[in-house]
Amino acid sequence: MKADQTDKTDKTFILKGVGVSPGVAIGRVYRFDPLDSKIAFYKLKDVSLIPQEVLRFKKALKESELQLLEIQNNLKKAKVTEPLYVIDVHILILKDKIFTNRTIKYIRRLGVNAEWALRMTLDHYKQIFEGVEDAYISSRVSDVQYVVQRVLRNLSGEKQENVWETGQDGVIIVSHDLSPADTAQMKLDKIFGFATDSGGRTSHTAIVARSMELPAVVGLDNITRSVRTGDEIIVDGTSGLVVINPYTDMLKRYEEKKRHYDTAKDEYLKYAKLPAVTLDNYHIQIGCNIEFIEEIPSAIVHGAENIGLYRTEFLYIYRDELPTEEDHFNNYRQVVTEKNLSWSTIRTFDLGGDKFPNYQKQSKELNPQMGLRAIRFCLKEVEIFKTQLRAIWRAGAFGKTKILFPMISSVEEIREAKKLLEETRQELLAQGVKIALEMEIGAMIEVPAAVVIADKLAREVDFFSIGTNDLIQYSLAIDRANERLTYLYEPLHPAVLRLIKRVVDMAHDAKIRTAMCGEMAGDPLCALILLGMELDELSMNHLAIPRIKKIIRESTIKESKILLEKALTFNTASEVRAYVVDYMMGRFPDEFQKEED
């Protein structure tokens, strides 16, 4: 213990990962699941010790099972549907006789301790799973790993929640990765932030962190090897940096940054709940784009009036099996019943065949962005699509729901989608299922062809929602993933502005509403330009809302129209940008200076 402390020479070092939840957290490391370094592997001194060792193993199995059952019960109470069957799988692995007998056999034949035997069993299964062709099944080895870790933890006799029970405050969880079962047993109010080896923007850690508004950095590769419980640590979720054992000056700088961030946040949040009404009384609706139910509370805190875009892809991606109608329904119902939201726009899934296990082996598409995806895939895989449509109808009975079809490029597509929607409605009615009385239908406008025929599409739907990310990529013919082309990606390109203006104008001619749900909607620089176009609704990520609202509240529709008119006279994107930047900086000096630091 003593050696440990002198060892810690407070050497400052910095790791770079992916910031997935903004803000600064300063605290002490808690190494969650520090098993691997602690496991003792040894041979039993005497064969007479074998029966005792087997018993120790069996006891650890039983304890693990009880813990999983308890976690499952707690999750059930919390009405979380997602990870329940995963825990079932884990319990059944614990009960798998072939798995347990193999471990016992190693103890008996080789005279090794249970930990060692278990590790050998894991290695055995790793090999077998590697040999399975199906990539999904092959990856299930992670379940075996998870179960083994839990049993190992119980073998070591370590109590799980020790850090939470000591009442220690302000810990920063450092872990390889976190699963729903891990976070379910944490007391989240004691945690200031997260830093993990693996994961990305959509990993469980990232989602939990964002929903709790705790700073988090993931994808740090090997932070778990570099820190120990008790180390001082800074997690900067905005820049993606993690500092371990910061020296005094650095600590001071980060404390300052944290204060700055927190005050700025408080300042914005003060105005977040106010409506986005210009000084001359033009009202624009502000929605939030979400992907997970857990994001709703922060959406509301940040001032969302509705959910303008609920992406449903995650229902398909973060699992091995197709979601059932109930899976869909349980999620949608939770979104639409939120009292603080005027409505929720559910976008049907925008995925290509590569995301469906059944399609994996089919020919790879050279250009999946323009491939069989979104509405095209749905109209081909009608049964998968109708499962989702049924759930949306049912959820609509519980709160105002709008449906949005992605990637529409022709009138036929929207008609076909509407036909299927009507079919499911009739089927549900015939079955006597409670469904929405009516539903507004929207088309995503993100393919240039849809802009050209916007007047025709407008007669088919109740609203448009402009997806600028794809619209810009397709109309300027630039692959967003290609780093050499990023300089061409320009929302203020005269062509893009004209396209957007045309969509809004055509919609208004047909007396339907137009929303925008792409990144451009949350870009403060574009706020007045979009206002000038008279968009009816802007939907963005929750963090962007307070700032956009503030800008809109301090401006007029009159000046926005003048700005837009002027912007449309320029020949080049750089001229437009220069003019708009200049105008916005002069008009909102506070807002646009902050951007720079």
Partner 1 sequence: MTETRTLKLKNKLGMHARSAAAFVKVALQFKAKIYIERDGQTVNGDSILDILTLGCPYGGLLTIKAEGVDASMAIEELEKLIENKFGED
User: Which residues are annotated as catalytic?
Assistant: 204, 517
Q: Where are the beta strands (DSSP E) in 98-157?
A: none
Measured from the CB atom, the residue of 93 and 218 that comes closer to partner 1 is 93
Q: Restricting to residues 381-410, which ones interact with partner 1 according to CB under 8 A?
A: 383, 387
CB of 317 to partner 1, least distance (A): 14
Q: Does 377 bind partner 1 (CB under 8 A)?
A: no
Measured from the CB atom, is 73 or 358 closer to partner 1? 358
Instruction: Find the binder of partner 1 among 4, 133, 249, 483 (CB under 8 A).
Output: 133
Q: 401-405 and 241-244 as β-strands: parallel, antiparallel, unpaired?
A: unpaired
The Cα-based distances of 280 to 532, 556, 586 in angstroms read 13, 5, 20
User: Would you give the binding string for partner 1 spanning residues 92-131, x where CB under 8 A is met?
Assistant: xx-xxxxx-------------------------x--xx-x
Among 10, 70, 134, 438, binds partner 1 (CB under 8 A): 134
Written as six digits, the tokens of 449 are 């062809």
Whole-angstrom Cα distance, residue 271 to residue 274? 6
Q: Give the nearer residue to partner 1 in terms of CB position, either 256 or 320.
A: 320
How near is the Cβ of 66 to partner 1 at its closest, in Å?
A: 18
Q: How far is CA 136 from the centre of its chain?
A: 21
Can you tell me which of 28, 58, 108, 140 binds partner 1, judged by CB under 8 A? 140
Q: Which of 201, 222, 205, 223 is nearest to 214 (CA)?
A: 205
Contacts to partner 1 from residues 431-490, by CB under 8 A: none
Interaction residues for partner 1, span 189-228 (CB under 8 A): none
Q: How far is the CB of 297 from partner 1 (least distance, A)?
A: 29
Using CB under 8 A, which of the segments 140-148, 368-376, 481-489, 545-553 binds partner 1?
140-148
Determine, following the binding rule CB under 8 A, whether residue 566 of this chain makes contact with partner 1. no
For residues 8-27, which are near partner 1 according to CB under 8 A? none
Dig out the tokens for 393 from the structure: 């109808």
Output 356 or 579, the one with its CB closest to partner 1.
356
Q: Which is nearer to partner 1, 95 or 225 (CB)?
A: 95
Which residue number, 14 or 137, has a Cβ lying nearer to partner 1?
137
Of 88 and 161, CB closest to partner 1:
88
Residue 135 binds to partner 1 (criterion: CB under 8 A): no
154, amino acid identity:
N
Interface stretch with partner 1, choices 314-322, 340-348, 539-547, 568-576 (CB under 8 A): 314-322
Contacts with partner 1: how many residues (CB under 8 A)?
31
Beta bridge partners of 513: 463
Helix axes 50-77, 114-130, angle to 10 degrees: 60
89 CB burial (10 A radius; 0-12, 13-18, 19+): middle
DSSP state of 174: E
Which 8-state DSSP code applies to residue 359?
G
**Does 321 help bind partner 1 (rule: CB under 8 A)?**
yes
Question: Whole-number minimum distance, CB 50 to partner 1, in Å?
Answer: 24
Q: Is 80 helix (H, G, I), strand (E, B) or coil?
A: coil
Sign of CA dihedral 467, 469, 472, 474: negative
What whole-number distance in Å separates Cα of residue 268 and Cα of residue 263? 9
Nearer to partner 1, 133 or 266 (CB): 133
Per CB under 8 A, 322 contacts partner 1: yes
What is the token pair recorded at 345?
């726009």
Instruction: Identify the three-state secondary structure at position 577.
Output: helix
Q: Identify which range of 2-10, 38-46, 133-141, 563-571 contacts partner 1 by CB under 8 A.
A: 133-141
- Kindly state the helix (H) or strand (E) to which residue 265 belongs, with its residue range: helix 248-272
> Considering the complex, what minimum distance in angstroms separates the CB of residue 85 from partner 1?
5
By C-alpha distance, which of 584, 526, 553 is closest to 282?
A: 553
Site for partner 1 in 324-353 (CB under 8 A): 324
Applying CB under 8 A, among 13, 41, 136, 247 the residue interacting with partner 1 is 136
Contact present, 212 and 186 (Cβ < 8 Å): no
Q: CB 178 → partner 1: shortest distance, Å? A: 20
Write down the least CB distance from residue 31 to partner 1, Å. Answer: 29
Q: Name which of 256 and 321 has its Cβ closer to partner 1.
A: 321
Exposure pattern of 447-477 as b/e (b: 16+ CB <10 Å)?
A: bbebbeebeebbebbebbbbbbebbbbbbbe
Q: Report the alpha-carbon distance of residue 129 to residue 79 in Å, rounded.
A: 32
CB of 122 to partner 1, least distance (A): 11
Considering only residues 60, 114, 144, 551, which one is a binding residue for partner 1 as defined by CB under 8 A? 144
Q: Is 75 helix (H, G, I), strand (E, B) or coil?
A: helix
The span from the CA of 176 to the CA of 301, in Å, is 31
Start-end of H helices in 273-369: 296-301, 314-317, 325-336
Between residue 64 and residue 93, which ones bind partner 1 under the rule CB under 8 A? 85-86, 88-89, 92-93
CB of 155 to partner 1, least distance (A): 20
Secondary structure (H, E, C), 450-475: HHHCHHHHHCCCCEEEECHHHHHHHH
- Rounded to a whole number of angstroms, the minimum distance from the CB of residue 137 to partner 1 is 6
Give whichever of 50 and 86 is closer to partner 1, judged by the CB atom: 86
Rounded Cα–Cα distance for residues 399 and 341 (Å): 9
Give buried/exposed letters for 292-324 (b at 16+ CB in 10 A, else e).
Answer: bbebbebbbbbbbbbbbbbbbbbbbeebeeebe
| Complex with partner 1: residue 88 or 509, whichever CB lies closer | 88
- Closest approach, Cβ 364 to partner 1, in A, equals 19
Q: How far apart are CA 548 and CA 353, in angstroms?
A: 36
Site residues (CB under 8 A) for partner 1? 85-86, 88-89, 92-93, 95-99, 125, 128-129, 131-134, 136-137, 140, 143-144, 320-322, 324, 357-358, 383, 387
